[in-house]
Structure 1
């Protein structure tokens, strides 16, 4: 495989180099795109490679300055015909070209695949060089001097004045890099640098996070919260390092150095439970540091795709909100428009739920919504009071659906029966709607949910009717997920009792598969007026509760705003593919 890769590489090398040189000289469209990072100290530039390359042919590609042949450390992997290079602003006008590097041969490793992950990429990009004998020494502790050198190379930092450390003299091999790293604020000002002292895992994690923050790619919270990291020894992480750990874990848990080992607990059949341990005071090895840096280069930078550039969303996204059920749209959109979309500074970590998101849109706090239903009568009234008119653009098919326990012999209800259940609490047993003698347990959603807005539309006469007080007092599912799990868990065989609940079709389809983690009880969809909800019956409108999902914006939204551009994207071929990839029914059902 290795030999084949090299043969394929040699066939493409000339073409790549020639095209890169042409880009440098002529400034073709491929290299025209650029973006300032952070405070503008760095510029990211898209450099044209060879379009349509197979994955195996893209290995070992990187970007270098065409005038000197010096590699750009902050360069991406091949992405749909391009590579991205992030350079200091003062170098932004220098010509760039794509080149193919050679994998290093580390003399201290019997098998090259044992080398630390990423040593090849970082060596090609000029960051990792090994020692004079060509040894990687991946198991040796990383010293503070070596850490400073790695970061100075990664960021292309220029030497500054004397760093101010009494133990770093001008005749040391690391003097320039330490002075540059200290000037960039990567190390704290202190009397001594301790260059030969091994760096701890916590110290390196902070150093790496500061380097990424210096470029403008990472925000480090002043006070870190490690509750979401899953680290078994989170309490051992010093407070001064917690923010760095939190920031890196938010990008990807594989960036910060951790050790997987038994926790002391056991699965069934005596299999040990494994957990991640930071072990922050342990010295970090050179191999671990290389792996962390390579993972950071893979998971932290956020580059726009061709679609983002085409629709003008590469530099600014609208503020997106919506209901819980439509959050996959936001996730899907960012994954289609960007690499590492969740690292985008505008990526929302969650939606505000249906009612609150409409309030935010009306108040101007959000630019656009993904909605499973149009605004309720109450929200439309609020919009009118604020002088706001809402615009609804369909982006997908969806429907309100009802479900019950799989064991329930009843397979469908009429709309009148559903209204009788929820408005009048008319039935206490399934035999009253043509089923067995078994208790009927209706579950509803909270009144500020998108699902309740659908209930209002189809069964409450736009708010003129109310849900039965008996149901509201005891059987409210307060989350989209619990709407399913509550019904599943309510199953009783002795005495028989079956529940009924409601949601939207797309959410039911995606979450129902994951319910086994909560309950072994299964559900089934109910036909309404004799029609079972399926992709086909929803798309052709034969299912009586079929509707659309919408992208919603204010009607006075400017023509060329990010919100308008996103709406245009959502109905494009690429946007409709994002709809399908997010688990929804695109308008052109295939």
Structure 2
């Protein structure tokens, strides 16, 4: 009977181990494999030895417990370390459109306190725009479009988001009536002219490029030159900028990302130091490294555009730094006193949709600007806070 139960347990554990092995490989968590093998092995030995009445003395019991504990500790160290690392908050480069889809039950979109004064019927303007602005214009859609499904990932949908840089092309080709973006460049004006179109550019709001640290970091203000020295690699300890005696972990972003380009522009010709890296995976030639994304260690230093930081700021996990003595508040960003500000725009190219202009007019109205600000951006108007 003991042999049969032991054999049945072995078959079940081998099957479950194989499933766990496959899942670990598919999820990119190969570091779990040693634990996946050792844990069922220990369980199988414990049950089998009990069935065969091996544990008849304290010495045998404690010897088995000791060996099993050492094996589990060795194979569990990396998974525990990885789990701890993953538990540390990060600041994403962009908003995830999935969380901001209009009329979705679990959407994180901001809403007005009362129904919008503008309500659309057909023909609905076709929208596209940069991913970082999607939470704003998706909120506009939910406020004024009729209730329905507006998935951002649909190539020919009404409300798209430009994760691959095609919004301007969609505008020129007539696949979008209106796009949301930063100021068009000279080549874009030229391309529109070549297509017989004229770009109309309407400012609708502002955003800031910010630097941040862990909430518990005593540093509150940095000068622009001090930041350049940190990212240039000449300042390496927080005590050099009136902080604690801890090394600075200065995180960077992926090459060619929007925030990384903003940092390079901010550096004003000062070369960036080699970025922090972390293990990505192991191939036949050894460990492959990737650029490390910001993790909120007590001595971490990061940067992003302000919208992506707001959730962790509200949770008191990180704090935004004053730059050259100016905090990145709505008022200082709106006035331009904060030094790292950019406007964003609604851009059209001669659409014949009669609803587009009244949509733009509504966006820059007090109501539209209030919703823009509730969405985490900065309005062009003062006094656009929610009415109590």
The interval holding the TM-score normalised by the smaller chain is 0.5 to 0.7
1:31 counterpart residue number = none
Root-mean-square deviation (CA, aligned residues, Å) is 3.7
Residue of 233, 251, 263 corresponding to 1:455: 263
1:307 equivalent to 2:112? Answer no
Q: For residues 343 and 436 of structure 1, do their structure 2 counterparts lie closer, same or farther at Cα, with a shift above 3 Å needed?
A: closer
2:33 counterpart residue number = none
1:541 equivalent to 2:336? Answer yes
Residue of 428, 432, 451 corresponding to 2:236: 428
Maintained 8 Å contact 1:531/1:542: yes
Q: CA deviation at 1:383?
A: 5.6
Q: For residues 570 and 448 of structure 1, do their structure 2 counterparts lie closer, same or farther at Cα, with a shift above 3 Å needed?
A: farther
**SS of 1:308's equivalent?**
coil
Residue of 346, 357, 369 corresponding to 1:551: 346
1:409 equivalent to 2:218? Answer yes
- Where structure 1 has 5 or more consecutive residues not aligned to the other structure, the ranges are 1-249, 255-303, 476-484, 493-497
Q: Deviations over 1:522-564 (max 9, x none)?
A: 11110000111112222222211233332233xx424765544
1:326 equivalent to 2:127? Answer no
CA distance in 2, matches of 1:551, 1:354: 19
TM-score between the two structures when normalised by the length of structure 1: 0.37
1:468 counterpart residue number = 272
CA distance in 1, matches of 2:252, 2:199: 27
**SS of 1:421's equivalent?**
helix
Maintained 8 Å contact 2:140/2:368: yes
Q: CA deviation at 1:320?
A: 2.0
Paired residues for 1:346-425 under 5 Å: 346-348=157-159, 351-353=161-163, 355-358=165-168, 360-361=170-171, 365-371=175-181, 373-374=182-183, 380-381=186-187, 384=190, 387=193, 391-422=200-231, 424-425=232-233
1:502 counterpart residue number = 303
1:338 equivalent to 2:145? Answer yes
**SS of 1:569's equivalent?**
helix
2:364 counterpart residue number = 571
Q: For residues 466 and 363 of structure 1, do their structure 2 counterparts lie closer, same or farther at Cα, with a shift above 3 Å needed?
A: farther
CA distance in 2, matches of 1:253, 1:509: 22
Q: For residues 507 and 428 of structure 1, do their structure 2 counterparts lie closer, same or farther at Cα, with a shift above 3 Å needed?
A: same
- Where structure 2 has 5 or more consecutive residues not aligned to the other structure, the ranges are 1-101, 107-114, 279-291, 384-388
Q: CA deviation at 1:579?
A: 1.5
Paired positions, count: 254
2:373 counterpart residue number = 580
CA distance in 1, matches of 2:191, 2:293: 38
Whose RCO is larger (CA < 8 A, sep 6+)?
2
1:242 counterpart residue number = none
Q: CA deviation at 1:430?
A: 1.9
Maintained 8 Å contact 1:403/1:501: yes
Q: Deviations over 1:196-240 (max 9, x none)?
A: xxxxxxxxxxxxxxxxxxxxxxxxxxxxxxxxxxxxxxxxxxxxx
CA distance in 2, matches of 1:467, 1:552: 35
Paired residues for 1:222-301 under 5 Å: none
CA distance in 2, matches of 1:253, 1:506: 22
Maintained 8 Å contact 2:119/2:146: no
Q: Deviations over 1:353-382 (max 9, x none)?
A: 3845445446654433323x435xxx6546
CA distance in 2, matches of 1:426, 1:361: 45
Q: For residues 490 and 584 of structure 1, do their structure 2 counterparts lie closer, same or farther at Cα, with a shift above 3 Å needed?
A: closer
CA distance in 1, matches of 2:339, 2:380: 18
Maintained 8 Å contact 1:579/1:586: yes
Q: CA deviation at 1:501?
A: 1.6
Q: CA deviation at 1:503?
A: 2.0
- Deviating runs (4+, > 6 A) in structure 1? 250-254
Maintained 8 Å contact 2:320/2:328: yes
Q: Deviations over 1:251-270 (max 9, x none)?
A: 7679xxxxxxxxxxxxxxxx
TM-score between the two structures when normalised by the length of structure 2: 0.54
Paired residues for 1:522-541 under 5 Å: 522-541=317-336
Higher Cα Rg, which structure: 1
Q: Deviations over 1:152-187 (max 9, x none)?
A: xxxxxxxxxxxxxxxxxxxxxxxxxxxxxxxxxxxx
Maintained 8 Å contact 1:353/1:449: no
Q: For residues 510 and 368 of structure 1, do their structure 2 counterparts lie closer, same or farther at Cα, with a shift above 3 Å needed?
A: farther
1:298 counterpart residue number = none
CA distance in 2, matches of 1:407, 1:316: 52
